Chains A and B, each alone.
Chain A
Amino acid sequence: MIKEENYLKKIADSCLTQSKKLGSSDANVVVMNSISESVNIRNKQLDGSERSDNLAITLTTYIGKKKASIASSNLNENNINKLVNRCVEATKITPEDEYNSLPEKELHYFGNKDLQLYDDTYIDNEKKIEFIKKAEEQAFKNKNIINTNGSGFSQNKSNFILANTNGFMDGYKTSQFTAYCEVVSKRNGSMERDYEFTSKRFFSDLIKPEKIGKNAAKYAVNKLNPKKIKSEKLSLIFDKRISKNFLSNFASSISSSSIAKGTTFLKNKINNQIFNKQINIVDRGDILKGNGSKYFDSEGIKIDNLELVKDGILKDYLVDSYNGKKIDRKSNGRSSGTTNLYFKKGDVSFNDLIKSEKKLLYINETIGRGANIITGDYSVGASGIMIENGEFAYPVSEITIAGNFHEMFKNIILADDLEFKYSTNSPTMLISGMTVGGK
Chain B
Amino acid sequence: MSEFFKNSEIELSKAEKIVSETLKNCDDGELYLEDTKSETIVLDDNKIKSSDYSTDLGYGFRAVTGDIIAYSHSNEISEKSLLNSSQNLKSSLKNKRGTYNYEIKNTNQKFYSNIDPVEEKSLKSKIDILREINNYARSKDSSVKQVTANFIGEKKNVEILRAGGQLLNDERPLVRFNVSIMVEKFGKKETGVYGVGGRQSYDVYLNDNNWKKVCDEAFRIATTNLDSKPSPAGEMKVVLGPGWPAILIHEAVGHGLEGDFNRKKTSVFHDLVGQKVASESVTIIDDGTLDNRRGSLNIDDEGTPTEKTVLIENGILKNFMQDRLNARLMNTKSTGNGRRESYKHIIMPRMRNTIMLNGNNTQDEMIKSVNKGIFAVSFGGGQVDITSGKFVFNCTEAYEINNGKIGSPLKGATLIGDGPSSLKEILMVGNDMMLDPGIGTCGKAGQGVPVGVGQPSLLIDKMTVGGTQI
Interface of A toward B, CB cutoff 8 Å: 42, 45-56, 67-75, 79, 83, 86-87, 90, 93-95, 97, 99, 125, 147, 149, 184, 191-193, 228, 231-233, 260-263, 367-370, 372, 374-375, 377-381, 383, 397-404, 435-439
Contact = CB atoms under 8 A, between A and B. Distances in A.
B456 to A, nearest CB: 24
B387 interface: yes
B402 interface: no
Contacts of B124: 93
A73 B55 contact: yes
A231 B412 contact: no
13 contacts: A73-B57, A95-B47, A147-B266, A260-B45, A261-B45, A367-B390, A370-B414, A374-B182, A381-B414, A398-B390, A402-B466, A435-B467, A438-B464
Given A51-B73, A94-B127, A383-B390, A400 B190 contact: no
Q: Which of B48, B67, B191 has the most chain A CB atoms closer than 10 A to its own CB? A: B48
Contacts of B54: 70-72
Shortest 9 CB-CB contacts between residues of A and residues of B = A400-B466, A381-B392, A437-B233, A368-B392, A48-B69, A71-B54, A437-B466, A193-B387, A381-B416
Contact of A400 (B75, B387, B414): B414
A48 B93 CA distance: 9
Interface centre among A147, A228, A262, A379 (most CB of B within 10 A): A379
Given A90-B53, A368-B392, A438-B234, 14 more contacts: A45-B68, A47-B69, A48-B70, A52-B74, A69-B52, A70-B53, A71-B52, A193-B388, A263-B191, A367-B385, A368-B414, A375-B411, A435-B467, A439-B234
Interface stretch (B18-26, B167-175, B376-384, B433-441): B376-384
A94 B124 CA distance: 7
B466 A401 contact: yes
Nearest to A78: B7
A74 B78 CA distance: 12
Nearest to B7: A76
A53 B58 CA distance: 10
B44 interface: yes
A381 B466 contact: yes
Interface string B321-348: 0000000000000000000000010100
Contact of B264 (A42, A46, A56): A42
B107 interface: no
A87 B466 contact: no
A111 to B, nearest CB: 30
Given A55-B76, A262-B146, A379-B412, A192 B52 contact: no
B74 A53 contact: yes
A86 to B, nearest CB: 6
Contacts of B53: 68-71, 83, 86-87, 90
Contact of B92 (A68, A125, A191, A367): A125
B88 interface: yes
A51 B55 contact: no
B223 interface: no
Interface of A is mostly: strand
Nearest to A87: B53
A400 B44 contact: no
A105 B91 CA distance: 50
Contacts of A378: 412
Contacts of B390: 367, 381, 383, 397-398
A384 to B, nearest CB: 13
Nearest to B392: A381
A95 B48 contact: yes
Given A379-B467, A400-B414, A72 B55 contact: yes
Given A375-B411, A439-B235, A83 B464 contact: no
A435 B470 contact: yes
Contacts, number: 243
B412 A372 contact: yes
A152 to B, nearest CB: 10
A67 B50 CA distance: 8
Given A367-B390, A397-B390, A49 B266 contact: no
B190 A375 contact: yes
B412 A263 contact: no
A402 B416 contact: no
Interface in B333-365: 344, 346
Contacts of B391: 367, 381
A383 B469 CA distance: 20
A379 B395 CA distance: 10
Contacts of A436: 233
A147 B51 contact: no
A382 to B, nearest CB: 8
A232 to B, nearest CB: 7
Contacts of B393: 368
Contacts of B146: 261-263
A232 B469 CA distance: 9
Contact of B55 (A83, A99, A368): A83
Nearest to B73: A52
Contacts of A54: 75, 344
Given A367-B385, A368-B393, A437-B233, A48 B71 contact: yes
A239 to B, nearest CB: 16
Contacts of B49: 97
B51 A68 contact: yes
Contacts of B368: none
Given A72-B54, A381-B416, A437-B233, A374 B190 contact: yes
A401 B464 CA distance: 11
B95 to A, nearest CB: 11
B418 A51 contact: no
Contacts of B110: none
A71 B38 CA distance: 10
B163 interface: no
B404 to A, nearest CB: 23
A347 B405 CA distance: 52
B92 A49 contact: yes
A294 B210 CA distance: 46
